[in-house]
Structure 1
Amino acid sequence: MHRRAPSVHPGLMTDMYHPDAAYVSWRTGRNGLATFDLYARTAPFGGAYLLVAGLEAALEFVQSFRYTEEELTFLARIRDYDAAFLDELANLRFTGEILAMPEGSIAFPNEPILRVTAPFREALLLEAGILQAINLATLIATKASRIVYAAQQGQPRRVAEFAFRRAQEPMTVARAAYIGGCASTSLLNAAYEFRLPATGTVPHALIELFDSEEEAFEAVAQAYNRYTLLLDTYDPRRAIHTAIEVALRAQETLGHTLAAVRIDSGDLVADSLYIREQLDKAGLQHVRILASGDLDEWKILELLQAGAAIDAFGVGTALGSGAGSVERGIAGGSLGAVYKEVWYVDENGTEYPKVKLAHEKSTWPGKKEIYRHPQWEEDVVQLAHEPAPAGYHRLLKPVMRNGEMVPGSLPPLSEIRELAQQNLAALPEKYRALTVQEPYPVHFSEGLQVLRRQAARIVGVELAE
């Protein structure tokens, strides 16, 4: 029996509690103007920063959010909502304002990456879809930036994203990894859709298809003007001698060039040094050595610190899943950004700061702006009406007004990648490192601290000065 791929229904890209909460809001007549902040409480992978990505997908979700007749029928079947509430959902469209850090920005924990202001039900129903878009893409972009950073110790080295077969969401991974600094993707669909460079070598299965490794290498060398050979199907140290013999013959008879060799297993340090020595002796100094095989930023750094003669890396599983490190006790796999109500204006125009007081999950109330010192000495989070610190850069940019996109809010992917690389290059080394000794300074203004204490008093809690 043929099974069709699951459809995406924007109106149903919520958790169950979102329409349930919207229904209570509707029944009680509370639908004033609410402001929500999206932010992460911690930076992933034991680092200091987050590389922002996923805004384009988030805004596309916001624009497409609506309920079809079929979806409303489904909601009525699973919950006894009033018909008039379903009628409202049928006409619901986002009419509010969104400010966000552009994709490619550097963010730090507890800074709003995105600020949504809209009628309460609109802002609430968008929560899960926006979070999903930002959480995954930012996790992967940050992971990619760390892997590329590790690979570039001492000299520039390219990193190829090989994550398709194990990626949580392959197209998102390919796009975010490119923002993070990966030079190419193995996924042709992503290369086509996003205009990315596509790269790949050959699989072990192709080598095994032939009666001998030499015959396999010959077939590859004859097929392409520039080609890469995979050395570790049987024995990489034996294979490099075969590869050199084939390469020299192919160069002489066909003019075809061996561009690179790849090793995917074994002792990558010792084998790469042996392979480099043999290539150089044969006059093939131009041939690059590529390494792959369950690599991540820490393993790449260890290889290079041990003196491995590796010119480029292919990274799949750790990048595609945003993995941490079990050996180092570092969590990964998800970002955990949250979306919290911070301000509310009721139907009479009365304004209310909103705060959650729950230890490490406590929130900061108020409509905020973020300003960054030009030399990255600190960031200041403050209330929107407070004067900007002199010379500091404003980080939140308007991307939607009155439910419509602000022109220029979705730049080409090439520009996003360029902005990301500029920001990563400007980030002080002590915050770029894989493991940081101290967090980047993020200060909350006095006005914001006063408002937090006031908001706490409203709910009967007295905070220390």
Structure 2
Amino acid sequence: MPDARTTAFDIDLYHIDAAYLAWKSGYNAPSAFELFTRGTPFRGGYMLTAGLEPAAEFIGNFRFTREQLAWLRTIKPYEDEFFEMLGAFRFTGDVYAMAEGEIAFAHQPLLRVEASFVQGMLLEAGLLRALGIGTLIATKSARIRTTVGNCSYADFGFRRAHEPIWATRSAYIGGTDSTSYVEAAHRFNIPSSGTIPHAIVQAYPDELTAFREIARLMPKYMLLLDTYDVDQGIDNAITAAKEEAANGSGHTLMAVRIDSGDLAAWARLVKSRLVTAGMGDVKVLVSGDLDEFKAQDLLATGAPIDGFGVGGNLAVGLGSIESDYIGGVIGAVYKLSWIDLPGDDDDRMKIAGSKSTWPGKKAVYRFGDFDHDLVTLDHELAPDGGRPLLHPWMKEGTLLHSHPSLTEIRERAMSNLAAMPTWLKALAPEQDYDVRFSDELVALRDRIVAEHK
């Protein structure tokens, strides 16, 4: 359910000033704003889109309260009519968006808002936040998913996340199998998972006593081996599990987890002991500051690891310090691309070197299984064989369809990831994906640039 609070103050102060200037000077005209990125995060080759559900929540709850307007009047000496306009604000525009779980690339609009200038301007920060964070975490999760292959992959990042509920949702879209975060598991029906904390082991007189109690009280249990020493921990785990099995309770040790040290070496030792004890079906899980690069390195050693728990690096979309890959932000931008002003060229672009933008309202098409993409002006005829990626999402401020289930979104994401060529899924691809721009779009850009020289 949407939050009860208003989201109208989820803006920067300059949005109020820009809205006033457009309103006061008669430039509150029909406009188009597009949200896109200038690159892909983590130096990777793609993005996995997410964030439409929090975006819809943001738009639906965007309204100014009397208290908010009263406070604004104390810092902005604008006319009463302007504040009355803000007080009546409801988004009534149209929105086009890529579906969640789609694969996207730089300079492609992930979302386009068509509305009055004031309406489109006031939505900037909230939409950047929703889609920027969502797509960042989903992309990070997808990179881990494609790295660990068929190993289980759990999200342990709640306690580190800046936006835990939406981070968990995006991580699931990107490929996690489960989450330790109870609220997200409940709200989104994501499978829940977890082992035990070090504290419960420390609460008992010794580790073996703790493991015996866990085995006695929990029908299906997992044990954390590194509270004191993994070598001792696996022996105590085997002892407790065998004793409980002999009692006939039917309680089963499902997995053991290693959270520190040389994870590859410990995994080999632990699996060897389990196999020797006739318990080779017990899963070996690892965690502890993991990311896609560390998972790749661990699997490259051939260590018998069955599953990964990934926490803060996933939940906040970090890069990799060790591998010198930047993360933490996706760098999305939201730019005016078109405005309907009498007697003026409607198309707009920013001319600023590497920060230049493409003008006009645009469409995106994909050809084949990632043969190439084509970005066109939206009024151009759809190219033969191209699959459109931008679709109507809101009409006159109302969602055109209910949100698909999270399961459907995740299935779309997994299908798209499976269809991608292997080279594009590499953590550091050696080439860029082929994104082309139509002749008409290129000509429009060149003409506008020439006119401003």
TM value normalised by structure 1: 0.95
- Which of 418, 435, 439 does residue 442 from structure 1 map onto? 435
Letter in 2 for 1:457: A
1:236 and 2:234 correspond: no
Q: Which residue in the other structure is 2:270 paired with?
A: 275
- Which of 282, 285, 297 does residue 280 from structure 2 map onto? 285
Please give the secondary structure, in 2, of the residue aligned with 1:340: strand
User: Deviation at 1:457?
Assistant: 3.4
User: Deviation at 1:349?
Assistant: 7.7
Q: Which residue in the other structure is 1:3 paired with?
A: none
1:312 and 2:295 correspond: no
Tell me how far apart the structure 2 counterparts of residues 131 and 202 of structure 1 sit (CA, whole Å).
37
> CA offsets, 1:126-176, max 9 Å, x none?
000111000111100111111111111xxx111100001111111011101
Unaligned 5+ runs, structure 2: none
C-alpha spacing 1:38/1:273, structure 2 compared with 1 (3 Å): same
Q: Which residue in the other structure is 2:158 paired with?
A: 164
User: Deviation at 1:63?
Assistant: 2.0
Tell me how far apart the structure 2 counterparts of residues 7 and 404 of structure 1 sit (CA, whole Å).
18
Tell me how far apart the structure 2 counterparts of residues 360 and 350 of structure 1 sit (CA, whole Å).
26
Tell me how far apart the structure 2 counterparts of residues 328 and 74 of structure 1 sit (CA, whole Å).
47
Q: Which residue in the other structure is 2:214 paired with?
A: 220
Tell me how far apart the structure 2 counterparts of residues 411 and 226 of structure 1 sit (CA, whole Å).
33
Q: Which residue in the other structure is 1:211 paired with?
A: 205
Letter in 2 for 1:217: F
Q: Which residue in the other structure is 2:316 paired with?
A: 321
> CA offsets, 1:60-119, max 9 Å, x none?
211221112111111111111111111111112111110000001110011000011111
Q: Which residue in the other structure is 1:125 paired with?
A: 122
- Which of 65, 78, 82 does residue 81 from structure 1 map onto? 78
> CA offsets, 1:253-279, max 9 Å, x none?
122111000000111111110111111
Q: Mean alpha-carbon deviation: is it higher for 355-364 or for 86-95?
A: 86-95
**8 Å CA contact retained: 2:293, 2:323:** no
Write the mapping of 1:85-164 to structure 2, written as runs, cut at 5 A.
Answer: 85-152=82-149, 156-164=150-158
C-alpha spacing 1:349/1:71, structure 2 compared with 1 (3 Å): farther
- Which of 384, 394, 410 does residue 390 from structure 1 map onto? 384
Q: Which residue in the other structure is 2:326 paired with?
A: 331
Unaligned 5+ runs, structure 1: 1-5
Tell me how far apart the structure 2 counterparts of residues 349 and 221 of structure 1 sit (CA, whole Å).
78
Q: Which residue in the other structure is 1:199 paired with?
A: 193
Q: Which residue in the other structure is 2:353 paired with?
A: 359
| Equivalent residue pairs, number | 450
Q: Which residue in the other structure is 1:17 paired with?
A: 14
Tell me how far apart the structure 1 counterparts of residues 401 and 224 of structure 2 sit (CA, whole Å).
47
RMSD across aligned positions (CA): 1.3
TM value normalised by structure 2: 0.97
Q: Which residue in the other structure is 2:245 paired with?
A: 251
User: Deviation at 1:189?
Assistant: 0.8
User: Deviation at 1:294?
Assistant: 0.6
**8 Å CA contact retained: 2:6, 2:61:** no
Q: Which residue in the other structure is 1:413 paired with?
A: 406
Letter in 2 for 1:401: K
> CA offsets, 1:364-394, max 9 Å, x none?
0011100001221100000111122211100
User: Deviation at 1:248?
Assistant: 1.1
Tell me how far apart the structure 1 counterparts of residues 230 and 40 of structure 2 sit (CA, whole Å).
39
C-alpha spacing 1:129/1:349, structure 2 compared with 1 (3 Å): farther
Q: Which residue in the other structure is 2:426 paired with?
A: 433
Please give the secondary structure, in 2, of the residue aligned with 1:99: strand
Determine what percentage of the aligned residue pairs are the same residue.
Answer: 46
Q: Which residue in the other structure is 2:49 paired with?
A: 52
Please give the secondary structure, in 2, of the residue aligned with 1:353: coil
Tell me how far apart the structure 2 counterparts of residues 53 and 210 of structure 1 sit (CA, whole Å).
44
User: Deviation at 1:7?
Assistant: 9.0
Letter in 1 for 2:327: G
1:176 and 2:170 correspond: yes
User: Deviation at 1:232?
Assistant: 0.7
User: Deviation at 1:407?
Assistant: 2.1
Tell me how far apart the structure 1 counterparts of residues 422 and 106 of structure 2 sit (CA, whole Å).
18
Please give the secondary structure, in 2, of the residue aligned with 1:30: coil
Please give the secondary structure, in 2, of the residue aligned with 1:12: coil
Tell me how far apart the structure 2 counterparts of residues 358 and 242 of structure 1 sit (CA, whole Å).
64
